[in-house]
Amino acid sequence: MNYLGHCVIGAFVLLIAFNIAGAIPRFSAEQGLTCGTCHFSPGGGAMRNEFGHYTMSVNELTLQATKKKLMKSYKGPRLGDAVLIGADVRMKALEDGTISRHQTDYYLSYAPFTETYFNVTFSSGAIDESYLIVTNEQQTAFVQLGRFYPQFGLRLEDFTSFVKTKTGIFHRAALDGANAGLSVLGHNFSAAYYSVGAQSVYMANVSRYSFLGPMSYFYGASARFSEELANGTHGGQFAVKSVYAGLGYKTVSLLYEGDLIGESNDSYATYLGLAVRIIPGVYGKVDYNFYDPDRSKESGAEEFTRVSAEIWPMPFVEVNPGVAFNTRGPLDGEETYEIRIHLAY
């Protein structure tokens, strides 16, 4: 990295440290709310409901000066009484000029009855998700049927994180199956069955979202198991066990996920994330990722830390410049500069 690059990163880290004493948390760690509060799917991700669309994407995240100018002309996602639409587009540009597209998804939700929704995700000319979800009026129970993303661990938006790439539970991991959930004594329980060809896959998740004085928090655990295939392996549906947690205090939020991977827990992946709201619409972020493919050996581990800024200049537009410091693995010693752009309607 050149001298200017060191100065920019140094100033950014100091800015984060200076703003640790600020106020109001974000997302689930900030609000003490489940992922299903803002998204149709209980596990989060993909299509946002009207609360998530307006409260977070428009009101909470955007630069306040821009929001005030645009709110008079704001048009919501509803097309009539029963139809909602949405979209997610993610692009990434590297310092060498390379531009890649990570996601182009369009969402459609049709509600023929109250608390009953048919949801479809269109991606690259194909249907990715298509499921029916039915909830009770209090949103304390649900049944989900069709093709959808598993409810497992943190639903990180960073597709390069090891807790996604090394576990097989990543974007484009929608499966055919059924999921049912119930909230009891402040905890959320869910159990799912999926079919991948002739292989049966089982998943379970338990979580709690709440407050402790001025702090909001959540914690949870997930597990995936599957039938053994004829070749003696479990294919891409190998066993994974996960614990995850989040903590929010004023403008600071912390996230953690640790995964044991494989039938004998041979591999391990972990994620740690810090986000600080500098002003509404501007956040500082540090994300640490570690992966050890064989915990009984000292070699083969991969590790990187990404320092970035998250800027929402206007509703539904996120600009995320950052640099990844690779400290173990094939890219050891290298630094990767990139700008991510996310259009989220």
pLDDT tens by residue, 165-186: 999 888 778 899 999 999 999 9
Among 189, 205, 194, CA closest to 240: 205
Confidence of residue 113 (pLDDT cuts 50, 70, 90): very high
Least confident of 43-57, 192-206, 290-304: 43-57
DSSP state of 228: P
Beta strands in 197-301 (DSSP E): 199-212, 215-226, 240-249, 252-261, 267-279, 282-292
One-letter identity of residue 180: A
Q: Please state, rounded to an integer, the average pLDDT across all residues of the chain.
A: 86
The two tokens of residue 216 are: 């909001």
Q: What is the pLDDT of residue 10?
A: 38
Mean pLDDT of 194-198: 91
Among 170, 134, 125, 164, CA closest to 149: 170
The two tokens of residue 1 are: 């990295």
Cα four-point dihedral sign 242, 222, 183, 35: positive
Q: What is the pLDDT of residues 1-28, one digit of tens each?
A: 443 344 333 333 333 333 333 222 346 6
For residue 57, give Cα distances in angstroms to 63, 159, 227, 316: 11, 20, 40, 6
Asked if residue 253 has pLDDT above 70, the reply is yes
Asked if residue 94 has pLDDT above 80, the reply is yes
- The angle formed by the CA atoms of residues 147, 119 and 245, to the nearest 5 degrees, is 70
For residue 139, give Cα distances in angstroms to 47, 176, 206, 309: 17, 23, 16, 34
DSSP state of 294: -
The two tokens of residue 231 are: 């070749």
Residue 239 CA to residue 224 CA, distance in Å, equals 5
Which fold would CATH assign to domain 3-39+88-102+150-344?
Answer: Porin (2.40.160)
Among 157, 215, 203, CA closest to 178: 203
Q: What is the pLDDT of residues 22-47, one digit of tens each?
A: 222 346 666 667 777 788 888 777 88
Asked if residue 155 has pLDDT above 70, the reply is yes
Residue 38 CA to residue 157 CA, distance in Å, equals 15
Among 120, 92, 86, 90, CA closest to 103: 90
**Residues forming a β-bridge with 88:** 105, 344
CB 244 within 8 A of CB 269: no
Asked if residue 226 has pLDDT above 70, the reply is yes
Q: What is 42-67 written as a DSSP string?
A: TT--S-B-HHIIIIIIIIITS-HHHH
